Amino acid sequence: MLKNTVPLIASLNSENEVHLLIGTHSMNVTTNRARAIVQSGAVATIVGFSKSSDADALRKKFAGESRVVLLEDQFQLGHLTTLGRSTVAKVVERVFVNLAQDQALLMQSIYQQCVKLRIPINTSQRPEFSTFSPISTYTDPAKSGLQIAVTTNGQGCLLANRIKREIVASLPTNISQAVINMGQLRDRIIYEDSNSLISNYYLNQDLQELGYGVDEDNWDSHKLNKLVHEFSMSDTQKRLKRTRWLSQVMQYYPLAQLADVSIAQLADDYVSNGKEVTSEGKLPESTETIQKHTPHEKLSEDSAEPSTATLSSQSKEKSRGNGSISLVGSGPGSVSMLTLGALHEIKTADLILADKLVPETILALIPEQIEVFIARKFPGNAERAQQELLQKGLVGLQEGKKVVRLKQGDPYIFGRGGEEYLFFSQHGYVPQVLPGLSSSLTSTVVAKIPATQRDVADQVLICTGTGRKGALPQIPEYVSTRTTVFLMALHRSEVLVEALLQQKWDPEIPATIIERASCPDQRITRTLLKYVPEVVNEIGSRPPGLLVVGSAVGALIDPDLLQFNEGKKYYIEEGFDGLNDIPLDLSAFGK
């Protein structure tokens, strides 16, 4: 293999194929290969035994297994075109060679013939006589369908096996149930909601955009969060609603929680911990009677904003029980960027209402006994989901609980923190607000972008890419010495960039896409403003992400890396090298 190339790794459908195993120099290799072939649904035909006793040993190992065929003959090149299925003109579909190293000439002959016949071939311990290599694979014994494959491309099978073991060990103990549950929900939802439209081209296209299908390495992930107008959905969008929501659950929810997601949680109305919340954001009648003594403006169907009327001192003092609430910023993702105040609130809460974008590293800090609810802010449900969170928080407060509204980044930077402060205050529960490191500025730091720097950038502007009801926000004027950060913009980068260019923004200005800032899978993509939509379309999306535009983007970067043109439109840096796993003494905060 050329050093500058990487192999194309695929999940192969081998059902009913005939795979030819030549030689039994290593019985362990032959046995393991045959067993894997049978598990894949193919037929393992073994020929050219190194010793006659090998045939007897294999016959005992695979007694009663019709998919293992033992041919006690010396191997001949003619076997390649006579032992296969009639549907493929008797040509075998895959060849595994397991011969002693002193049979190199025979290995070469088999390899050359396989290349001529376009038969994939693997020769044990001889990559020069191989067109493919089996890789270290974990197959879930619970038959969930989960497989994890690792290769170091010849750098050492021991290392590949160790990496595989450590990856598997890091998964939740209920990962099998999670995969099975997600698959069952997907099948049920597609059947129930989409069966009548399944032949429709646009529906199939939509399903592919949601990450369904067999092409797991290549799907339009940047369209997962595409805009859906909540209160004017088309018939197809309505039918795909639960499908889209399930895709969001798979993408954002902690892996350990996927095993317990129910079909009811993907509906507008569902019951959670005995509290029913309707699609209009109402509580059950019994709960609403409790609120009758606390007059407030009812949230309208198309708005989650409470009234901004001045609060009287009397309403501020009203409180049902001893409940308390705090609005807490959890920072961009890394535990190292979580404040001590936020950690204290997380550890001492009774009920945590978390944004779906709060990363698993932060959620993992929550003690098991604390009730956690993750926002259902899926496309086409953002406003209703906000109402749902507000009402669940209010119920918790009326029950005397300590409620923590855990928000990604900072509560007040496009986090609806002000709206939530007003809502709970109007009901007699004045929130304590704990700031968090905002992703709008921490992301620039981890991306080596000085938001301000003398002679480069003398001002910073933080904007949203998605306004009320999905509308574009007011487009700011272009200032060459400004660093502009656009949040919630990548899913509609084409529309945003077009609007910026119409407002005379410089198309050649440097731009950086920052995704999963401070998380282990952080990705930083540098480009030019005019290329942003094309780049997003090509590399996909890894939410949460944002866009930074301005000359400061390249202030600390080697200029040679930022020479972009039609042949090279972007430069990617993967991973976060900061403090991800800092040792924390949590004894002061409880277990």
Note the pLDDT of residue 312: 39
Note the pLDDT of residue 296: 33
For all residues of the chain together, what is the average pLDDT?
A: 82
What CA–CA distance (Å, rounded) separates 197 from 195? 5
Token digits for 580?
């991800």
What CA–CA distance (Å, rounded) separates 66 from 44? 9
Per-position b or e across 140-176, b if 16+ CB within 10 A of its CB = beeebebeeebbeeeeeeeebeeebeeeeeebeebbb
Is 50 exceeded by the pLDDT of residue 180? Answer: yes
Residue span(s) of the chain under CATH 3.30.950.10 come to 441-574
Q: What is the pLDDT of residues 412-435, one digit of tens each?
A: 998 889 999 999 999 999 999 999
pLDDT, mean of residues 100-128: 95
What CA–CA distance (Å, rounded) separates 353 from 59? 60
Given the structure tokens 């379309």, which residue do they identify? Answer: 537
Note the pLDDT of residue 80: 97
Query: What CATH architecture applies to the domain 441-574?
Result: 2-Layer Sandwich (3.30)
Q: What is the pLDDT of residues 34-78, one digit of tens each?
A: 999 999 999 999 999 998 899 999 999 999 999 999 999 999 999
Note the pLDDT of residue 294: 32
Whether the Cβ atoms of residue 33 and residue 44 lie closer than 8 Å to each other:
yes
Q: Please report, as a single letter, which amino acid is at residue 502.
A: Q
Residue 459 has, within 13 A of its CA and on its CB side, a CA count of: 6
Residue 495 or residue 204, greater confidence? 495
Long-range contacts of 82-85 (CB under 8 A, 24+ apart): 83/18, 83/20, 83/45, 83/47, 84/18, 85/16, 85/17, 85/18
Helix and strand numbers (H, E) in the chain are 17, 20
pTM as predicted: 0.68
Residue span(s) of the chain under CATH 3.40.1010.10 come to 272-437
- CB atoms near residue 358 (< 10 Å): 25
Query: What CATH architecture applies to the domain 272-437?
Result: 3-Layer(aba) Sandwich (3.40)
Strand spans (E) along 442-587 = 459-464, 482-487, 510-515, 523-528, 545-549, 571-574
Please report, rounded to a whole number, the percentage of residues in the chain having pLDDT higher than 70.
79
Residue span(s) of the chain under CATH 3.40.50.720 come to 18-134
Hey, what CATH topology would domain 18-134 get?
Rossmann fold (3.40.50)
Token digits for 341?
């105040």
Among 5-9, 203-207, 244-248, 428-432, where is mean pLDDT lowest? 203-207
What CA–CA distance (Å, rounded) separates 69 from 79? 13
Q: Looking at 164, 356, 377, 530, which residue is catalytic?
A: 377
Is 90 exceeded by the pLDDT of residue 155? Answer: no
Residue 28 has, within 13 A of its CA and on its CB side, a CA count of: 0
Q: Looking at 164, 355, 410, 530, which residue is catalytic?
A: 355
Concerning whether 455 is annotated as a catalytic residue, the answer is no
pLDDT, mean of residues 389-412: 94
Whether the Cβ atoms of residue 424 and residue 393 lie closer than 8 Å to each other:
yes
Got the DSSP string for 69-91?
EEE-S---GGGGGTSS-GGGTT-
Concerning whether 226 is annotated as a catalytic residue, the answer is no
What CA–CA distance (Å, rounded) separates 467 from 476? 14
Per-position b or e across 436-462, b if 16+ CB within 10 A of its CB = bbbbbbbbbbbbebebbeeebbeebbb
Note the pLDDT of residue 535: 93
Whether the Cβ atoms of residue 411 and residue 417 lie closer than 8 Å to each other:
yes
Could you tell me which of 229, 228, 211 has the C-alpha nearest to residue 220?
211
Q: What is the pLDDT of residues 234-285, one digit of tens each?
A: 556 666 677 777 888 888 888 888 998 888 888 766 545 434 433 333 433 3
